[in-house]
Amino acid sequence: MYARVIVDISHTQVDRVFEYNIPEKMNIRPGMRVRVPFGHMRDTEGIVIGLEETSEYEANKIKEIICPLDDFCALTEEQIKLASFIKQKYNTTLAAALRFMLPAQVRGGRVSVKTQTRVRLLLSGPALQRVEEGLLKKDGSVKYPRQWETLSLLKEQGELPASELNGSAVKSLEKKGAVELVRAEIARIPFQKKVIRIDDYGLTEKQKEILDRIRAGGKRFLLHGVTGSGKTEIYIRVMRDCLARGKTAILLVPEISLTPQTYTFLKQRFDEEIAVFHSGLSAGERFDEWMKVKRGKAKIVLGARSAVFAPLENLGVIIIDEEHETSYKADNYPKYTAHEIAKERCRLNDAILILGSATPQIETYFRGIRGEYEILKMPNRLFGLQLPAVDIVDMCNELKNGNRTAISGRLYDELERTLADGKQAMLFLNRRGYSTFVMCRSCGYVVKCDSCDVTMTYHKAQDILKCHYCGRTKTPETVCPECGKPHLKYFGMGTQQIEEQVKGLFPYARILRMDLDTMGNKDAHIKLFEDFAAHKADILIGTQMITKGFDFRDVTLSAILAADTMLNIPDYRSAERTFCHITQIAGRAGRKEPGTVILQTYNPMHYAVQHAKYHDYVGFYNEEIALREMAQLPPFSTYVQLQFSGQKEEQVIAAVKDFIGKLKAVLLPHKRGIISIKASEAAIKRIRDMERYHILIHLKNDEGLVGQIYTLFNQTKYVNVLTGIDINPVNMA
């Protein structure tokens, strides 16, 4: 037998498979990590991706595998198939595809199982008593207090880490045969919280109906249910079905920050072990969670995007919660989406795929209507709870009335009432579109980052200017470096300004602010949400935030301060994002009692705003999809964005020009499939001293053409120019 081996997947750029002889008696299976001789280099690590009876090479030229590196298969056969799919779909190398499945910690044996020396008590009854008596003086007082103490600790616990006990006392006790030292594996556990088990709820009629439809044998579902309709309960039941049939399950959440709550929630409902996969874990934790799955100890995996690659065998279901979130698309190349990977894995395993959302992506819903997903609807909240009414405030009138703050008269009144009632409020700014910048009022000079083509943001708390792309900081000045006049002024509006305005209006209110600044480390926001849930503050101000899983009982008022900033972004999804943003925020409000949602906008009649007011997803969808069809936008067409960047602008421009020429030659016979080809500077032209240009190809839907562009793009390399490809990019600019 011969093994087909991919060598050193951490570094290979080339896409080649090598053949090796398998020495007799060596048990090699596909998916194993092996040590192999390679070229003139020293031995290297490889992965067996298949076995062959025959070889194309002469027998005496084929080298032998030195040894296997693990006693198990690091990759499953399914993962090897999935890697081929990824290679094909994103036109990447097999090595790059395999890197998704094998954490860096496993490759090269960088991290391994953590062990610990533990002290175990060996004796009991009279034997133990005899040892204890030996530690006492004649008069019954303790002669060897450290040994005595060690022994009593061990009597309570049975076994303890050696590091927690006195070394010489342990040694003496060992000599007496009372204890032994053992090396034990210990798991690095990401979350330690104790969780109390909760019994299953009785399902509502609606939940039963939905579950019956999933159990009827279909494979792909879009669960379109408003927030609070009880989707999570459906997920749990479907996962439980899978475990009962000996299968495994993956639950994806959109953000790392959501995993702790969801983990706790799952632990309340499942006795089984749950593994957590996401990039926020330490190397050791990641390794241990991965091993937990490999050894079959965990049959449920919870995590963010990358958890879709978890090495579960016998997969029964993949659930993508909040499927509309853009975080399900990778930010690095190849820019896969969790949806595409999940779909293929479910196909390979004959497993169920469930996408859940209150506001599905337009593309997803469109596919659902076409029959690619069975659409399951949960249009009502549980127990007859109403969705809150959304009040639209036309900000044009505020300006006319001389109100220059971000707080409309209507919002002021509601805030006042909310605070008087002892309730809480949440104020939202959009994630994008707002920032504070510094401009000279005499000459118009704007302070920009030296490395990036973006204005710097003023951070009042530290009194510095900061670049949100590279982190560079500057001390703010008042004298303009361009014209020398002392007229540098701070403009725009960020969460800090809002906080000041609100403080000015309601000096007695306790305010919490959540944004990039206050969210230094990964647990900071959980603490902040917990404080807010415990009513330690009256008003929470922040950019768009996912509050799922938190129970803010006292929140009766939510406000979106400026719905328009998102509408004005030049992107075909701007209406969709606006609708989604408003609906999601409204959906989180008033979970116990119907709350008030205030929406401030300069475009009160916009269809995204109007449909969001009535929580009318289908109404919005119908209008949006008609517009998309008319304007030939996705899903009726495809955008391919080719990204070029480099330190020397001439080189980047030359590469773009050259590639346009190549593209035209290749695409000429398919002229009818092409809507447009445009080259331009990126919206942010420079980031981290790299000049950035794009070619945007707008195509009619045609997988073949996309494939040709991919192939051409991958074949073409330019000196000192980095390139990347993105299909229907999340950020079109």
Question: Binding site annotation covers 440?
Answer: yes
* Closest-approach residue to ligand ADP (CB): 232
Q: Which residues does residue 115 pair with via DSSP β-bridges, in sequence order?
A: 185
Which C-beta is closer to ligand ADP: that of 72 or that of 201?
A: 201
How many residues touch ligand ADP under the rule CB under 6 A: the total is 14
Measured from the CB of residue 456, what is the shortest distance to Zn ion in angstroms? Answer: 8
Q: Are 562 and 581 in contact (CB under 8 A)?
A: no
Which C-beta is closer to Zn ion: that of 304 or that of 452?
A: 452
Residues 16-75 that bind ligand ADP (CB under 6 A): none
Which C-beta is closer to ligand ADP: that of 230 or that of 334?
A: 230
608, two tokens: 């995204």
Helix (H, G, I), strand (E, B) or coil at 208: helix
70, two tokens: 């693990």
Sign of CA dihedral 511, 516, 520, 524: positive
Contact status: 323 vs ligand ADP (CB under 6 A): no
Question: Binding site annotation covers 242?
Answer: no
192, two tokens: 């330690």
Contact status: 334 vs ligand ADP (CB under 6 A): no
Residues 624-653 that bind ligand ADP (CB under 6 A): none
Long-range CB contact pairs, 184-190, < 8 A, 24+: 184/115, 184/116, 184/118, 185/113, 185/114, 185/115, 186/114, 186/115, 186/116, 187/114, 187/288, 187/292, 188/114, 188/282, 188/284, 188/285, 188/287, 188/288, 189/285, 189/288, 190/276, 190/281, 190/285, 190/289
Binding partner selected for residue 452 from Zn ion, ligand ADP, none, CB under the kind-specific 5 to 8 Å limit: Zn ion
Residue whose entry in the numeric block shows the structure tokens 């000996």: 246
Question: Binding site annotation covers 483?
Answer: yes
Nearest to 46 by CA among 9, 16, 11, 73: 9
Which C-beta is closer to ligand ADP: that of 86 or that of 378?
A: 378
Measured from the CB of residue 294, what is the shortest distance to Zn ion in angstroms? Answer: 41
Which C-beta is closer to ligand ADP: that of 234 or that of 566?
A: 234
Which C-beta is closer to ligand ADP: that of 301 or that of 354?
A: 354
Question: Binding site annotation covers 470?
Answer: yes
Question: Letter for the amino acid at 260?
Answer: P
Q: Are 457 and 465 in contact (CB under 8 A)?
A: yes
Measured from the CB of residue 387, what is the shortest distance to ligand ADP in angstroms? Answer: 12
Task: Please give the Cα distance from 272 to 300 (Å, whole number).
Answer: 8
Q: Which residues does residue 22 pair with via DSSP β-bridges, in sequence order?
A: none
Question: Binding site annotation covers 449?
Answer: yes
Residues 192-231 that bind ligand ADP (CB under 6 A): 201-204, 207, 225, 227-231
Which C-beta is closer to ligand ADP: that of 197 or that of 295?
A: 197
Nearest to 224 by CA among 369, 384, 365: 365
Q: Which residues does residue 377 pair with via DSSP β-bridges, in sequence order?
A: 224
Measured from the CB of residue 241, what is the shortest distance to ligand ADP in angstroms? Answer: 16
User: Footprint of Zn ion on this chain (CB under 5 A)?
Assistant: 449, 451-452, 467, 469-470, 472
State the DSSP code for 710.
H
Contact status: 233 vs ligand ADP (CB under 6 A): yes
Question: Letter for the amino acid at 102?
Answer: L
Measured from the CB of residue 197, what is the shortest distance to ligand ADP in angstroms? Answer: 14
Binding partner selected for residue 469 from ligand ADP, Zn ion, none, CB under the kind-specific 5 to 8 Å limit: Zn ion
State the DSSP code for 362.
H
Measured from the CB of residue 532, what is the shortest distance to ligand ADP in angstroms? Answer: 18
Measured from the CB of residue 204, what is the shortest distance to ligand ADP in angstroms? Answer: 5
Task: Please give the Cα distance from 620 to 624 (Å, whole number).
Answer: 6
For the annotated binding site for Zn(2+), the residues are: 440, 443, 449, 452, 467, 470, 480, 483
Residue ranges that bind ligand ADP, judged by CB under 6 A: 201-204, 207, 225, 227-233, 382
